[in-house]
Amino acid sequence: MALVLAEHSNEPVDVSRVIRMLLLHDLVEIDAGDTPAFGAQGDKEILEARAAERIFGMLPPDQREMCLELWEEFECSETPEARFANAIDRVMPSFQNIRNRGGSWIDFNVDRTRADARLTPIAEGSETLWNVVRGILDEAEAKGYLKGNES
Amino acid sequence: MALVLAEHSNEPVDVSRVIRMLLLHDLVEIDAGDTPAFGAQGDKEILEARAAERIFGMLPPDQREMCLELWEEFECSETPEARFANAIDRVMPSFQNIRNRGGSWIDFNVDRTRADARLTPIAEGSETLWNVVRGILDEAEAKGYLKGNES
């Protein structure tokens, strides 16, 4: 997904670094136990930091540093590559949920405000992708997959 | 795995291309339905070629070409990157099987001759990795996970 959508990043990115960040980030989530985006976040940050130290700590020092740096860069989301990688990571569940009768939006009883809060950071990596996702959220709300704002 | 083991490739490789090949190759296997390495191979090649055309065919022409070329390069295994990517792809099941009381070697009643035939191409990508795998195969034979040669 990163490979074919890279041209929609707000800023030019080195796609290879984006792909490495996404892969390493998923390894850490697998080790820590993935926390659903709309579930209780609990000790997620602490568990993932420990997992990163544990698994990358098995590598020789130079590779340990390279992996930890890429993982931290992804987590901080302050470089063009990290912003775009985070956008890709957040986009995917929307594509799944709209095809899956609401998926995790239904499971966690999510309303539009919470979905927006989770997904607006996509715009920091790609305005284009955020516009697509906003359209998906509109459709999801219309179909009742996503509760309307309770205001 | 490709990222941290690239220094053991027989020839210098562009790791980013190796990673792309492995990712695209797995997408095609997911779409075609993965055929276990030691099971009947059936129409594997035809099904995978059709899957590659189908899924990469959804992309704009330039990206379709890029993906098909990388996939074909992996399948032909005639460049340094493709040889190393194929080595990585073949190494992984050995690591799983030795940790998993024989895994697919037991499931498919594999003997040492068939395991060697499947795994010796690793040496074309990395002599170092092949030496490690040969040690694993010796251990697997000693533990009875892999039948000895019937000769």
B151 vs B54 pLDDT, higher one: B54
Q: What is the rounded average pLDDT of the residues A122-141?
A: 97
Q: What is the rounded average pLDDT of the residues A89-110?
A: 94
Number of Cβ within 10 Å of residue A33's Cβ equals 11
pLDDT of residue A11: 98
Question: Does any CB of chain A come closer than 8 Å to the CB of residue B59?
Answer: yes
Question: Does any CB of chain A come closer than 8 Å to the CB of residue B1?
Answer: no
Which chain B residue's Cα is nearest to A2?
B20
CA A135 vs. chain centroid, Å, equals: 18
Give yes or no for residue A44 having a pLDDT over 90.
no
Give yes or no for residue A135 having a pLDDT over 80.
yes
How many angstroms separate the CA atoms of B19 and A17, rounded? 11
Percent of chain A with pLDDT over 90: 87
The distance of A31 to chain B (nearest Cα, Å) reads: 15
Contact B45, B28 (CB under 8 A): no
pLDDT of residue B150: 59
Q: What is the rounded average pLDDT of the residues B9-17?
A: 98
Count of CB contacts below 8 A, A vs B?
19
Residues of B in contact with A59 (CB under 8 A): 4
pLDDT of residue A150: 59
Could you write out the DSSP letters of every residue in B65-106?
Answer: HHHHHHHHHHHHT-SHHHHHHHHHHHHHHHHHHHHTTTHHHH
Nearest to B16 among A4, A16, A63 (CB): A16
Give the pLDDT band (50/70/90) at residue A71.
very high
Residues of A in contact with B4 (CB under 8 A): 59, 63, 67
Cross-chain Cβ contact A20/B19 below 8 Å? yes
B129 vs B150 pLDDT, higher one: B129
pLDDT digits (tens, 9 = 90+) for B127-136: 999 999 999 9
Give yes or no for residue A32 having a pLDDT over 70.
yes
Give the pLDDT band (50/70/90) at residue A36.
confident
Q: What is the rounded average pLDDT of the residues A12-23?
A: 98
Number of Cβ within 10 Å of residue A1's Cβ equals 15
Q: Is A147 helix (H, G, I), strand (E, B) or coil?
A: strand
**Nearest one of B142, B96, B85, B136 to B115, comparing CA atoms:** B136
Give yes or no for residue A118 having a pLDDT over 60.
yes
Question: Does any CB of chain A come closer than 8 Å to the CB of residue B16?
Answer: yes
pLDDT digits (tens, 9 = 90+) for B18-74: 999 999 999 999 999 877 777 777 788 899 999 999 999 999 999 999 999 999 999
Average pLDDT, chain B: 94
pLDDT of residue A42: 79
CA A18 vs. chain centroid, Å, equals: 12
Q: What's B63's DSSP letter?
A: H
Cross-chain Cβ contact A63/B4 below 8 Å? yes
How many angstroms separate the CA atoms of A82 and A76, rounded? 8
pLDDT of residue A60: 97
Give yes or no for residue A151 having a pLDDT over 60.
no
Question: Does any CB of chain B come closer than 8 Å to the CB of residue A76?
Answer: no
How many angstroms separate the CA atoms of B68 and B50, rounded? 11
Give the pLDDT band (50/70/90) at residue A40.
confident
